[in-house]
Amino acid sequence: MLDVRGDNRQLKGLEIAATAKILRKGKGWSVPSQSAERRYTVWLDPAEPHCTCPDHEDGGHKCKHLFAVEYVIQRERNSDGSTTITETLAVHGTIRKTYSQDWRAYNAAQTGEKAKFLDLLRDLCGGIAEPARQKNGRPPLPINDALFAACYKIYSTVSGRRFMTDLREAQAKGYIAKVPHYNSIFNYLENPALTPILRALITESSRPLNAIEIDFAADSSGFTTSRFHRWYDHKYGIARQEHDWVKVHLMCGVSTHIVTAVEIHDRDASDIKLFPALVDATAENFQMREVSADKGYGSKKNLEVVARHGAVPYIAFKGSTTGRAGGLWTKMFHYFQYRREEFLSHYHKRSNVESVFSMIKAKFRDHVRSKTDVAMVNEVLCKIICHNICCLIQESYELGIDTAFWEAA
């Protein structure tokens, strides 16, 4: 892996190879100077490589122009098309990469998930302090019971009325003190005061895995709603419509798929602007080594946010990127250009965040039933809480992790 804080001559050589025109002259190479309008000649003699620049002649060490020529030769060898064809044939023909699965642990987690889910959900909701009650009016449902009922209802994936049987059984087993009316569950989901509490539960449900997860990935996806977004198409003179959606931005660990941070804003919220909040929230509870994301998150600020927490950002670059922004941006761009296979081996961990969205949508539905903006956001947050608890159950069987919430409280 490229040391982004490494030798300055090597980094400058990368920059020259990426931005300057290096010409082959017989057995040598003509490399332009970065500080003057002149060119130096480089000979890559295996026994004694040489450059006519003052830095090489005075110090006798490997100068940036030698590095630049080496990177140009490497680039030419790796961009002739044959390597890509060979790799494609290997993947589709004879080599198929597979991943081992601990089926005994997986089967045990799946067959015992529901009972263990209720235990963990009760422990998780039990750490929320009861808010101050108003003196007048009907006594509200305890906040722990309300949170338990809302998350359990999302986990069940059935309608509110059909869910009442499960809720009565939960009360009989001592998980809740009182069975709420199904309309009360919907009313709690429409309460904006519930949103920060649900976000806190997501954070707390990820903390038991902070000794395992060090590599993370970020992405966004939408959950379909029952509302429609309508507009008039002036080009064709007709009215068009499509389902509205709740756009979810999240960061997850790439080993266990636990969600560590969530941001939900309007449907057109920019990915690139919400990335720093995801990184900062994850860094509060996890030691970060790598963070991967697609081109939509690429900016100098986002790379620096990751580096500020001691991690390396593996964010792909767009085709129009020049790498001239300086600092960490330029270093990672050169890494991406000249050691692409190594870069991509880290970057492709990003596919795990797509797996997370697939897991959530397949298990807890890819749509929301709520009608109001607040309720739709809270419903999606409940889905993520349920997903995190399921991840903890899987890891308890596979890695033997003993889950305990609110230990620092």
257/335 same-domain check: yes
Show the CA angle centred on residue 249, arms to residues 314 and 360, nearest 5°: 105
Residues 6 or more apart in contact with residue 70 via CB below 8 angstroms: 13, 44
1 falls within a domain? no
β-pairing, 290-293 vs 215-233, is parallel
228/156 same-domain check: yes
Report pLDDT digits (tens) over 234-274. Answer: 888 888 877 788 999 999 999 999 999 999 998 888 899 99
The residue count for the chain: 409
Count of other CB atoms within 10 angstroms of residue 131: 10
Concatenating the DSSP letter of every residue in 64-104 gives HHHHHHHHHHHHHHHSSSHHHHHHHHIIIII--------HH
93 falls within a domain? no
Q: Which two tokens stand for residue 272?
A: 């690139």
345-to-21, 86, 105, 314, 348 alpha-carbon distances in Å: 29, 18, 28, 10, 6
45 falls within a domain? yes
Q: Are 199 and 206 in contact (CB under 8 A)?
A: no
Distance CA 258, CA 285 (A): 13
Distance CA 319, CA 394 (A): 40
71/115 same-domain check: no
260 falls within a domain? yes
277/384 same-domain check: yes
Distance, C-alpha 111 to centroid of its chain: 29
pLDDT at 15: 79
Q: Are 278 and 297 in contact (CB under 8 A)?
A: no
135/23 same-domain check: no
Most confident segment among 26-35, 50-59, 84-93? 26-35
pLDDT at 209: 94
Domain count of the fold of the chain: 2
285/191 same-domain check: yes
Q: Which two tokens stand for residue 358?
A: 């697939």
Q: Are 148 and 175 in contact (CB under 8 A)?
A: yes
β-pairing, 39-43 vs 50-51, is antiparallel
On the question of pLDDT at 35 being above 60, the answer is yes
Amino acid code (one letter) for 157: T
- Domain holding 67, by residue range, is 8-78
Mean of pLDDT values over 125-129: 91
On the question of pLDDT at 354 being above 80, the answer is yes
305/351 same-domain check: yes
130/44 same-domain check: no
400/282 same-domain check: yes
84 falls within a domain? no
126/52 same-domain check: no
133/61 same-domain check: no
Helix (H, G, I), strand (E, B) or coil at 234: coil
Report pLDDT digits (tens) over 280-335. Answer: 999 999 999 999 999 999 999 999 999 999 999 999 998 888 778 888 999 998 88
Residues 6 or more apart in contact with residue 336 via CB below 8 angstroms: 316, 317, 343
94 falls within a domain? no
Q: Are 150 and 167 in contact (CB under 8 A)?
A: no
Concatenating the DSSP letter of every residue in 240-285 gives EEEEEEEEEEEEEETTT--EEEEEE--TT--HHHHHHHHHHHHHTT
Report pLDDT digits (tens) over 89-100. Answer: 333 444 566 667
Q: Which two tokens stand for residue 215?
A: 């590599």
pLDDT at 97: 62
Distance CA 166, CA 62 (A): 72
Beta bridge partners of 312: 290
On the question of pLDDT at 382 being above 90, the answer is yes
pLDDT at 91: 35
180/124 same-domain check: yes
Distance CA 332, CA 371 (A): 44
16 falls within a domain? yes
